[in-house]
Amino acid sequence: MGIAALIVSIIALLISLIPIFGIFACIPALVSFILSIVDIVKKSKTGGKKGVSIAGLIISILVPIVAVVWSLGLGIGLAIYNESQDILDDSFNEINSIASNVESNNNSFDYYSNNFREDLYNSNTNSLYNNSMTNSETSNTIGNTLTNDVTNSVDNTISNSLTNSEANNAVTGNQATNTSSFYGIDQPVIIDGVKTTLLSSNLDFTDYFSYTTVESGYKIIKADFDFENTSDTSKTVSSYRFNCYADNYSCSSFFSTKDATFTDNISAGMKTKGSVYFKVPANAKEVVLEYTSYGNRDSVKFKVK
């Protein structure tokens, strides 16, 4: 009976080390405890050896202690693990939120910085334009005092110059004079000395930042342009000079993507490329992009859908 008590207590001890199920080891431990007590009492009367029974008794007493301590330790460990996971999740969410705010602030800074550059450029351009008009009026006043022969000579020179200019426009591209015209892909048009060409369009652009959500019923479009300075002076082109209209309704620009904006100063004879992004209704039947030159003197429209 002492050997049986020892074997049952060892089995109970092994069961107590099993996670979650360890508490059930108390049942065989109780059986081993009873067998050990009975065997010890019996051998006390007969004078037999009680070492095996005492060992079984000690192990059966340790089993519930081990089971309780092991279960508590496992529970505390799981609680600490879950708490650390929650802390890590909160930290990652905060990092993503900070990254989103930083990206948004960068886009806002680019937007206002480029707008400031445009306003400054427009102010200087308008000032130069007004000075030019004043000088032109002064020249006209002086010209009226000249003889008819000189006036006729000047008129002939201007006529020849206009003829050469028209021929040059016929070679390099269409001149933007009729703002009601629409241009499509690979149809270049010259506006304020810059030959502008719509290279391609993506009517369902999805390669934007992963944290950005586009509300239901809308989609993002992308249009790629090529700009060539055909004049003899530097020209500035910018994504902020574009407006978008879907079925004649104005649409907002989209900034949550890489290279969402551009503002480039092109030297005479040089080229550059840039892309514009807008958020439009998903069911729009017609999408038009309008580009306005600096000084708001000319504009041209590109039909992308």
174-178, 234-238, 277-281: least confident range: 174-178
Q: Give the N- to C-terminal CA distance of the chain in Å, as an integer.
A: 93
Q: Are 289 and 302 in contact, with CB atoms under 8 Å apart?
A: yes
Give the Cα-Cα-Cα angle 211, 213, 217 (nearest 5 degrees). 165
In the chain, the largest separation of any two C-alpha atoms, in whole Å, equals 154
pLDDT at 219: 95
Q: Cβ atoms within 10 A of the Cβ of 243, count? A: 17
pLDDT at 119: 59
CA distances from 247 to 218, 282, 285, 286, 305 (A): 14, 11, 6, 5, 10
Distance between CA 248 and CA 163 in Å, rounded?
37
Dump pLDDT digits (tens) for 70-113: 788 877 888 888 878 778 877 777 787 776 666 555 555 555 55
Give the residue carrying structure tokens 């082109």: 237
Q: Which whole number is the average pLDDT over 248-268?
A: 92
pLDDT at 25: 74
Strands (DSSP E) along 127-168, which ranges? none
Q: Which residue from 274, 186, 297 is spatially nearest to 223, judged by alpha carbons?
A: 274
Bridge partner list, 218: 281
Q: Which whole number is the average pLDDT over 154-162?
A: 44
**What ranges do the domains of the chain cover?**
1-141, 174-303
* Better-predicted residue by pLDDT, 35 or 270: 270
Dump pLDDT digits (tens) for 19-63: 777 777 778 878 878 877 787 787 777 777 778 778 877 887 888
* Pairing mode of beta strands 271-281, 218-229: antiparallel
Q: Are 50 and 43 in contact, with CB atoms under 8 Å apart?
A: yes
Tokens (6 digits) for 210? 């992963």
Q: Cβ atoms within 10 A of the Cβ of 104, count? A: 15
Bridge partner list, 290: 243, 301
Q: What is the DSSP track for 17-81?
A: TSTTGGGGGHHHHHHHHHHHHHHHHHHHHHT---HHHHHHHHHHHHHHHHHHHHHHHHHHHHHHH
pLDDT at 208: 92
* Confidence label for 273 from pLDDT (cuts 50, 70 and 90): very high
HSE value, Cβ hemisphere, 13 Å, CA-based, for 170: 6
Q: What is the CATH number of domain 174-303?
A: 2.60.40.1240
Dump pLDDT digits (tens) for 164-212: 444 344 334 555 544 458 899 999 999 989 999 999 999 999 999 988 8
